[in-house]
Amino acid sequence: MSRIFLKYGVNPHQAHAVVSHPREPMKVVNGQPGYINLLDALTAWQLVMEMRAATGKASAASFKHVSPAGAALEKPLDDVFLASQFLARREYSPVATAYARARGGDRMCSFGDAVAVSEKVDVSLANLLKGEVSDLIIAPDYDAEALEILEALGAKETHPEGLFFPDTYHFSAGTSDLTILRQAYDKMHATLDASWETRADHLPVKGKYQALILASIVEKETGDPSERKMVAAVFVNRLRKRMRLQTDPTVIYGLGEQFDGNLRRRDLEKDTPYNTYTRYGLPPTPIAMPGAGAIAAVLHPAPGDSLYFVSRGDGSHYFSGALKEHNLAVDKYQRKKAGIRLPAEEGSR
């Protein structure tokens, strides 16, 4: 009896669902799928195999939420298409060209997709997938070398954002991309582990990955090293009080390529998994690559009860613990109203 255990989201306490079959119609080679992953895989598989039977050509599909984001047949990739998809000029196998075209139909919708192909996963397709973010791939077979590429980093996380430490790395000509990525990945974990061991008590983050997510927000909110711990304290205090974080960088990240440089009210009201104006708690993944300073700030935030901050327009921020004071600061620094005196600035006069 073949059995596949299906996880529900990221809740470790929720029981698995189990799919059983007298034979073994498919085998999970790596990872653990969820219920929606199974539905995506089976639906996409049916489509690509029907395309293959009808045309005799390598076929591929990109599925999200049991709906096709794109489907395509093999066809050589010209320079215009390669440039539009940010792909390198190199030889692509027929099945790799099919998937590149399927994903290229709508790259935004294909982010985190389920990949289905009618042919064996070869090294060419594996190298293409290595540069994308996908939840799973279903295929009739795979080359051992291709599987090795896909497993090479050994990352447990499913989203690459924030996993690689921003730093200067020295390497010689011919060093593989995986070697460089492994170095940056390991350094991020080492930096996070070191700060986590000495973290402050009673922080409202459940594990190192949540700390990484919060650190990425701090990284985007301020470029002033002297303010990182204050910015971190605001978000820590808001999480403790179950207040929405209401931070613009998460909204911008959630908008993706739709963001044109101008954040509008309608953007703040458009719900996405990353909109911290419409949703409580942290976004699902980091939104940037945080440095050591931002990680340290989140795990050792400044003392105090600040819940708000607003840009002064000179790279620094005004912090406050009450909404009334914050609104006054917004009037003074954002709306440029004259004659406003703020409590925290009285002592400096």
Encode pLDDT of 288-313 as tens digits.
999 999 999 999 999 999 999 998 88
Whole-angstrom Cα distance, residue 136 to residue 115?
A: 6
Tell me the CATH class for 2-151. alpha beta
Helices (H), 69-130: 79-84, 94-104, 123-130
Would you state the pLDDT for residue 1? 47
Whole-angstrom Cα distance, residue 262 to residue 259?
A: 7
Would you state the pLDDT for residue 260? 84
Positions in the chain short of pLDDT 50: 1, 348-349
Domain ranges, ordered by start, for the chain: 2-151, 179-306
Whole-angstrom Cα distance, residue 60 to residue 102?
A: 6
Would you state the pLDDT for residue 112? 84
Q: Model pTM?
A: 0.59
Sequence-distant (≥ 6) Cβ neighbours of residue 7 within 8 angstroms: 16, 32, 33, 34
Q: Dump pLDDT digits (tens) for 193-221.
A: 999 999 999 999 989 999 999 999 999 99
Strands 17-21 and 2-6: antiparallel
The partner residues of 19 in beta bridges, in order of sequence, read 4
Would you state the pLDDT for residue 62? 93
Helix (H) or strand (E) holding 62: strand 59-64
